[in-house]
Amino acid sequence: MTFLEFAEKVTFLEFAEKVLKEEGKPLSTIDIWNIGKDKGYTKELRTKGFTPWNTIGAQI
């Protein structure tokens, strides 16, 4: 992975913000994760964890 590819990745907080803005309603962390995953946004995250929805919850 090049530095540019690394710099283009988003944080969990940015990921959650993007999903919440698009959906325009309150969502649980699991819903945020599943909707973002369905839209292909997980490719933008720097993660290899097993419970990313918990990470989202910790950051929001």
H or E stretch covering 57:
helix 52-59
Q: Which tens digit of pLDDT belongs to each residue from 2-38? A: 444 544 688 999 999 999 999 999 999 999 999 999 9
Residue 14: what pLDDT?
93
Structure-model confidence comparison of residues 50 and 44, the more confident one: 50
| Mean of pLDDT values over 39-52 | 88
Residue 3: what pLDDT?
44
Q: What is the DSSP string of 24-35?
A: -S---HHHHHHH
Residue 27 · residue 35 · CB < 8 Å: yes
Rounded Cα–Cα distance for residues 14 and 35 (Å) = 14
Q: What is the reported pTM?
A: 0.83
Work out the burial of residue 16: count CB atoms within 10 Å of its CB; fewer than 13 is exposed, 13-18 middle, 19 or more buried. buried
Structure-model confidence comparison of residues 37 and 48, the more confident one: 37
